[in-house]
Structure 1
């Protein structure tokens, strides 16, 4: 802590030096200037008349959206089932592919840190860098509309999520157990089976259930690009400006997410 001396010879304790305070104020000034510049760039094409009218338009939209059309619920049962199947199958396929990739990406289990590990890490990063909605948009243009495109999109997105968390869990295992099993003359697969898998299994189950919970939320909107499920009904209702139906779909999505969150929490609690 710096000390200054007054003309009377009395020592005065300072929290910071004058130079440090000037640098801090200069930093804040640069930050404010950067914020103002970014705000101008983001709002240069904004039509402020629409912004000022937004509360009125939002209130009018809410008035037309309530009460929800509850007699529309029976038509949502099949799309809801499709959404759950899309999330479940996509999670299953993605997890099956992610497990070997995670073992190849982990520094303590990869057969080659120079060649194999970078390729596995690249696959994980590539999967995580593209949102499932973008995957679905690309796959619908290739495979056509339907659940298959949604399932593959969910799977491709899940590979990176599960693979990253799983390979990090593998790298954090207790190496003493690996050494103990290896000392018995066990093969590489036996070491994985008896020393590594038991340590990472709880984490793996938790990661998979957590990803399934996320995929239910994502699969509910993939129909907006033609991948089926509740999103398809949502897109149709939005195109017809059927706001009471939109509200009903939102209620169903909310209820589904709440239930999946509860199931996910129970399962994670049971395995920990």
Structure 2
């Protein structure tokens, strides 16, 4: 045995970031992603003439929308804007009233019954799975067009959001205070009020304020299908080719979204 054989040690290990199976899985995912893009491009019916003419049409539309018709604000548009805020506020309040019991029932540490938990979570999933526009169309068919249908649509859409996050906040609560209250023989109402509520109060107000902010934005769109609010004024102005009013309504929608964001930020600092 020569000296080279005696001094040679074991072969150095080669470090690999991914195993062969992981590399194969990543390649398959990339391939599926590329195939999905190719198939989407093939199935989307794009008219080249419209695509090439889009910048010219956009410039012409912006020219028609300027100057903004500020004098059109008093009257119908003002009332529609106020109605939008009312829809968002009332819809959020109704959603909280309906979502709190469902959220409590979905928390398995508060309600240790799998059947009740399953039914509560089914309600929450059903609420979130249906878009607010679809809810609006459903309630327009029941109550007719107007703010009532929009308010109820916002409420039913918000149940899943508020209830799910509330239930998760309850499940994340520290068990120490709950066990102490249970050991003293406290009733369920006292356990919720003195054990859970102090722990979930910041999360609860954060959830409600965030949902109101979202509902302000959604209520501005529901009017496009006839569910009241400033969206109906926008749809009417577009149908009549009143582009100066369209620009005014778009500016108002952008303004109320910004104002709502500022109010939510300050309210969270004050309450939390």
State the partner residue of 2:223. 223
Query: What residue ranges of structure 1 are gaps of 5+ in the alignment?
Result: 1-8
Task: Map 1:112-123; keep pairs closer than 5 Å.
Answer: 112-113=113-114, 115-123=115-123
Aligned equivalents of 1:69, 1:175: Cα separation in 2? 59
State the partner residue of 2:171. 171
State the partner residue of 1:143. 143
Aligned equivalents of 1:238, 1:131: Cα separation in 2? 24
Aligned equivalents of 1:234, 1:18: Cα separation in 2? 53
**1:110 match: secondary structure:** coil
State the partner residue of 1:82. 83
State the partner residue of 2:56. 56
Aligned equivalents of 1:24, 1:102: Cα separation in 2? 38
Aligned equivalents of 2:87, 2:93: Cα separation in 1? 10
Aligned equivalents of 2:18, 2:237: Cα separation in 1? 63
Aligned equivalents of 1:46, 1:136: Cα separation in 2? 30
- The 1:59/1:32 distance shift into structure 2, 3 A limit, reads same
Aligned equivalents of 2:18, 2:187: Cα separation in 1? 66
Aligned equivalents of 2:104, 2:33: Cα separation in 1? 43
Task: Map 1:1-272; keep pairs closer than 5 Å.
Answer: 16=16, 20=20, 23=24, 26-27=27-28, 28=30, 31-41=33-43, 43=44, 45-75=45-75, 76-110=77-111, 112-113=113-114, 115-272=115-272
- The 1:126/1:13 distance shift into structure 2, 3 A limit, reads same
Tell me the CA shift for residue 35 of structure 1: 2.6
Structure 1 window deviating more from structure 2 (210-219 vs 190-199): it is 190-199
- The 1:164/1:14 distance shift into structure 2, 3 A limit, reads same
Structure 1 window deviating more from structure 2 (54-63 vs 118-127): it is 54-63
Structure 1 window deviating more from structure 2 (84-93 vs 68-77): it is 68-77
- The 1:17/1:69 distance shift into structure 2, 3 A limit, reads closer
**1:101 match: secondary structure:** helix
- The 1:207/1:240 distance shift into structure 2, 3 A limit, reads same
Aligned equivalents of 1:103, 1:52: Cα separation in 2? 55
CA RMSD of superposed structures (Å): 2.3
CA deviation string 1:106-153 (max 9, x = no partner): 01112522x111110000000001111111111111110111101100
Aligned equivalents of 1:22, 1:119: Cα separation in 2? 41
Structure 1 window deviating more from structure 2 (171-180 vs 30-39): it is 30-39
- The 1:119/1:74 distance shift into structure 2, 3 A limit, reads same
TM-score by length of 1: 0.89
CA deviation string 1:178-236 (max 9, x = no partner): 00111111112211111011111111111001100110110011111111110110010
Q: How many residues align?
A: 261
